Amino acid sequence: MSGVPVTKSARHISAQDAADMVRSGDWLDYGAVLAQPDAFDRALSSRISDLENVSIRGCLSMRPRAVVEADPARQHVSFYNWHLGGYDRKYSDVGLQNYIPCNLGEIPDYYRRFIDPVDIMVVKTCPVDANGYFNFSAANLWHGAVASRAKVVVVEVEPSLPYVHGIDNGLHISQVDYVIDGDGHPLPQLPKLSPTDADRAVARLIASEIEDGACLQIGIGAMPNAVCSLLLESGVRNLGVHTEMLTDGIIDLYRAGVVNGSAKSVHPGKIVFSFGLGSQTTYDAIDDNSDISCQPVDMTNLPHLIMQNDRLTAINNTTQMDLQGQAASESNGHRHISGSGGQLQFIRGAYASRGGKSFVCMSSTYERDGVRRSRVVLNLTPGNIVTAPRSDMMFVVTEFGLVNLKGRSVPERAKAMISLAHPDFRDDLERDARTHGLIPRSFL
């Protein structure tokens, strides 16, 4: 590979040579999102049948994992995942991926304190820069923490990755053992989901609560991105960003001048995030852009750091809430569908921020097998994971309204949550709430 210094600590080898270093019983780390390796993954899949008991950690696979595809009976490799995407969910359903419960912002500490050093870490990076660093691009997360204890560090360089400024956003050549070439394929892009009428209604309610100078955290999905679209038209100004995930919606606000970071308390003028996924437009916008700061996830997601941003406004999705305000955002019963991510950490950080606000949003209903069902329920689906406890819940939003649960009693919460349900389900919810004592007979 031209331009890469050949040193004792960073030797250029082929992807197959790197894969040949894997031994039975090894623990590997593939990093997360845009950093997950492809050339190495395919090379390892070609010899996976020769190995036993290989374990791999990854997160949010944006492409099929060749090692998983090559071992459908799970006889040779076990894949562990910090957060499931659509591809990962399919294989989790059949037992070929294993979710690791976590608060995303704590993961660097897990690697430093609780997880044994991995045998081989392989992550995709930009080519080495003039200062001898392999930039993590738009995927900083916990990669530095893994590398600090890994026995062998391999980087798969990919010139198509945007070069992204930030804090500790890369590995120095002295930290790297081997360099392999990427496959040169275009970067995976996250499709833009078209907002529904319910998404737009929720977005209007949230957008009306966002003030000039607020600092945004935006979660994934059509509903939070609909908020960004409405903010373009709302007249709000001087917004900042301190978020886990950088989305197309945030970049749209930045390009329109609505996000400029001028009122931020921490890192003024900078869009702070830990990983980004979106369109090529977003990747182009962040490439070598000094307004962008990609930081380790323990700098973006820990509540005591989030709260240092005044007017931190957190906007996140959920899939089901009960009448007391518990949010189940990551599972459908015992079936895992995504992950805790940073939702709870941003809910807590936003509450602790001076003037901060946390919004948890959802459509009031969903349809399954041709039957419409309520997302507001008396009891969560058996087996559902509580992502955010009732005691942490602040604003809850559906297309039928916005309520603040802070300081409200159990019967007040139940009445408020029922008001957010679709009208077709409200009478049954009220009757069930009274039958089970959430709303006493004496409570009007």
Helices (H), 94-216: 107-109, 143-149, 197-207
Q: Is 329 exposed, middle or buried (0-12, 13-18, 19+ CB in 10 A)?
A: buried
| Structure tokens, 234 | 């709302």
Q: Are the C-beta atoms of residues 376 and 421 closer than 8 Å to each other? A: yes
- The span from the CA of 323 to the CA of 375, in Å, is 10
Residue in this structure with the two tokens 């994992």, named with its chain if needed? 65
Task: Look up residue 87 and give its amino acid.
Answer: Y
Helices (H), 130-276: 143-149, 197-207, 222-234, 248-255
312 beta partners? 215
Query: Catalytic residue positions?
Result: 244
DSSP character at residue 381: P
The dihedrals phi and psi of 105, each to the nearest 5 degrees, come to -70, -10
> Terminus-to-terminus CA distance in the chain, angstroms?
74
Q: How far apart are CA 3 and CA 129, in angstroms?
A: 9
